[in-house]
Amino acid sequence: MLRKVPKQSRSEEMVSCILAGATRVLRRTPLASTTTNHIAEVAGVSVGSVYQYFDSKETIATTLFRRHLADSAQLLRRVRTESRGYSAEKRLRMPFVELLRDHRSDIMLHQNLMGVMETSRPTAETQSLIREITNEIAAVLGEEFPAIDQDEIKLCAALRQRYSVTLVHSSMIDPTLDRDGVVLDHFDSLSKANIKALGARARSRRRARVS
């Protein structure tokens, strides 16, 4: 994805600069009206240098998005390893709350990053990161429901991930959701339904196998 993998510290610094600049810009400006020149200016480097390391502004946004995904995956893994013994519901609620807080403090930035996903087809690396996140969720569910089929658990995990994301984004858009913990209430409802559905599907499958 990077045109050139930075090997020297100077190059790494350059890339960090550009990404930091882009982050600052995307916090205030919709991606559509962001310009490469502006990113370069804010980053304190020249446009030429931006093109030294990135193919286009979409590439920059995508990189930023991948970093965000990687951070999220890491958060989930950390919480999972540190929370053994608690119920799946609790273990999955914690990172949600944290992500919610992160997003709220940088609404436009995250809207911009989401926009990247919506506009371009996800790359293999992006999909792999998403899978990593789903796997983390699935791991927690699997520890609570060891009897349930792995595929089934992965589906539930994927759905849960999706609506977590949707809820976070909804909370950024819809001001009525942005207070009194309404979003958390929704999350809890969906979470309960998610786990109940898991049980239901498990039972129906067992019945199907028996008959």
Q: In the complex, which residues of this chain contact its own copies (CB under 8 A)? A: 30-33, 111, 114-115, 117-119, 122, 155-156, 158-159, 162-163, 165-167, 169-170, 172-174, 176-177, 179-180, 182-183, 185-186, 188-190, 192-194, 196-197, 200-201
Give the span between the Cα atoms of 10 and 187, in whole angstroms.
Answer: 44
Assess contact for 29 and 38: CB atoms under 8 A.
yes
* # of chain residues touching DNA (CB under 7 A): 24
Give the span between the Cα atoms of 191 and 135, in whole angstroms.
Answer: 17
120 is a contact residue toward DNA (CB under 7 A): no
- Nearer to DNA by Cβ, of 12 and 185: the residue is 12
The least CB distance from residue 188 to DNA, in Å, is: 42
* Residues ≥6 apart with Cβ < 8 Å to 101: none
The alpha carbon of residue 19 and the mean position of all alpha carbons in its chain are separated, in whole angstroms, by 18
Q: Which does 55 bind (CB under 5 to 8 A by kind): DNA, its own copies, none?
A: DNA
The least CB distance from residue 19 to DNA, in Å, is: 13
C-alpha torsion sign, points 75, 76, 77, 79: positive
Please select the residue that binds DNA; options are 20, 24, 27, 36, rule is CB under 7 A: 36
Q: Calculate ∠ Cα 46-49-52, nearest 5°.
A: 160
Assess contact for 115 and 184: CB atoms under 8 A.
no
51 is a contact residue toward DNA (CB under 7 A): yes
Q: Which does 177 bind (CB under 5 to 8 A by kind): its own copies, DNA, none?
A: its own copies
4 is a contact residue toward DNA (CB under 7 A): yes
143 torsion bin: left (phi>0), alpha (psi -120 to 50), beta (else): alpha
**Paired tokens of 167:** 């809820």
Please select the residue that binds DNA; options are 26, 45, 64, 69, rule is CB under 7 A: 45
The least CB distance from residue 184 to its own copies, in Å, is: 10
Residues engaged in binding DNA (CB under 7 A): 4, 6-8, 10-11, 13-14, 33-37, 45-49, 51-53, 55-57
